[in-house]
Amino acid sequence: MSEVAEAHVTITLPDGATRTYGTGVTGAEVAADISNSLAKAALACRIDGTLSDLSRRIEHDAELSIVTAKDEAEALELIRHDCAHIMARAVQELWPATKVTIGPVIDNGFYYDFDRDEPFTEDDLAAIEKRMRQIIEARDPVKTEVWTRADAIAHYEKTGEPFKVELVEAIPEGQPIRMYWHGPWQDLCRGPHLVHTGQVPADAFKLMSVAGAYWRGDSSRKQLQRIYGTAFRTRKDLEAYLHMLEEAAKRDHRRIGKQMDLFHLQEEAPGMIFWHPNGWAVYRALEDYMRRRLTAAGYKEIKTPQVVDRKLWEASGHWDKYRENMFLAYVEEEHAKEKRINALKPMNCPCHVQIYNHSLKSYRDLPLRLAEFGSCHRYEPSGSMHGLMRVRGFTQDDAHIFCTEDQIEDETARFIELLGSIYKDLGFDSFDIKFSTRPEQRVGSDEIWDKAEAALEAAVRKVTNDYTVDPGEGAFYGPKLDFKLTDAIGREWQCGTFQADFNLPERLDAEYVDADGERKRPVMMHRAILGSFERFMGIVIENCAGRFPLWLAPVQAVVATIVSDADGYAERVAAELRAKGLRVETDTRNEKINYKVREHSVAGVPVILAVGRQEVEGETVAVRRLGEQGQRVLPLAEAAAGIAADATPPDLR
């Protein structure tokens, strides 16, 4: 009788070395074969690039890498995913009648949604954390199996988990249904997970809050309780994150906005900003600065209508894409058979093409850079709005560059240089670039997208190789570069964007006459630096914690009297400062000077000038700078000139 040859698989390791094993070998077995230390450190593995459990059997030749705690991104995702399951287990062990639903990893942590009659309290969170640490200390093994749909449904019907039954029923036919056990506790999950519960750091997680959440995000379905948590690889990382949250709370632009009397929101105009004099002063200073920078960079400022007929939005393709986020205005025109449907513009680009198209352009006119501080409106869900950061009415520092394909590279370089310079002036020294490619839902042919992506990536490569690719995250009309800046406490904000559009000029019939006399389509580069003034204002407020640089401060100086005899002189000092273009207030209240100084310092006023009898007699002022110790007594003219020089916007120095 002949022997049947045993099937083998070839495993290729990250260094290119290969090893042969019997079919069905696991990542854990390969790690143990390499070294005992690697087997102990292993958390998961990558099989042909896909993150997998160490227990997953390998049935074919594959590339394999072992994931350990040194692989920070993968390790953190695994820890957070297991934390969600461990939290759900802890909840059901403490309150067995609770029903479980889903618990994914999210930015900075995880959550799990529960169906429980009683609301969770702060004391409950502490009890859950304690039980989670006990589960971690038990080092319970994590196991996984693939079940049939019928078996999974029968199991969850038996255990009384209706939400899990619905989840199983929604899984497409033929897709494996994977079940996980963390010790005795079981959950439906795609995985992967750690080897045992003890691989979650017991001192590096924290439950943060409880919120309401509708099942499947549907407000007509049952409301659940969502527990949010955060987790990190080390206690040090957790403490750093919690410290950042404390700093963020102190810097919250809504709190500072109220404290400094900058703006407010109210129910009668949800998502719309009421700018107060102080806030509008900052806004105008920022707008004036941006206007000067754009003018110097060769942009021509324009202004386009707020309300535009739906026909333009249909022609541009925005109607199908943004219809549900548009504010519509129905107008009964005279002699019209039906109402005319207009929309408040959610973006400026189609209107800019109308200005471009108003006269036939020559290649000599290109590049043509059209800029607008365009007021836009988008219907954002009420639950997503957040102070200045997410609003329904906003102003974009918008511009569109109409150019030839040969000019894309130069325009990209010019834009990145301009953006970097502006960010530096506004207090942000570094930024990251993300190159986003075609999304699934898009307009235009693959041929046009191939051309647009190749042109934009080649252009950014001429400027820098320091960028990342984000597949599928481009605009619906073209690929884009997004620019993320980092604030004073390490948070990232996506503000600037630069987008190559070969489609809209085609849809809206934009042309130019080339040197050969032929009519051709220009490329339309969509670009913004701040993004929206409202959101950028919120970012600046939080970045500087309300202590604006002198040139941006709403009140740049306060003249405070020490005695009432100096009231007249205080007004004269203020008038001299105002004559130099400074935003100045006087404080002649019958209060002690130390009280006045403290109050204005808390309010973030950069310069306080104290005047008493000595200052009146000597025509001097006692100058106190925010953040500095002590004061300097200077002649009025010298002090005014010095403050005015320091208050000069960066581009005018």
Residues with active-site annotation: 349, 378, 396, 398, 400, 480, 526
> Please, are residues 166 and 149 in contact by the beta-carbon 8 Å criterion?
no
User: How far apart (Å, rounded) are the C-alpha atoms in residues 62 and 20?
Assistant: 11
State how far the alpha carbon of 533 is from the alpha carbons of 379, 538, 643, in Å.
18, 9, 27
> Please, are residues 558 and 600 in contact by the beta-carbon 8 Å criterion?
yes
Q: Which residue, 323, 308, 321, is CA-closest to 444?
A: 321
DSSP string computed for 19-70: EEEETTEEHHHHHHHH-HHHHHH--EEEETTEEE-TTPEE-S-EEEEEE-TT
How, if at all, do strands 519-520 and 480-486 pair? Answer: unpaired
Phi and psi dihedrals of 66, rounded to 5?
-95, 130
Q: Where are the alpha helices (DSSP H) in 426-566?
A: 446-463, 504-507, 533-543
User: How far apart (Å, rounded) are the C-alpha atoms in residues 163 and 169?
Assistant: 10
Residue type, 311: K
| Residues near 370 by beta carbon (within 8 Å), at least 6 away in sequence | 299, 300, 302, 352, 355, 356, 399, 400, 401, 402
How, if at all, do strands 512-513 and 492-501 pair? Answer: unpaired
In the annotated binding site for Zn(2+), the residues are 349, 400, 526
Phi and psi dihedrals of 322, rounded to 5?
-120, 5
> Please, are residues 201 and 86 in contact by the beta-carbon 8 Å criterion?
no
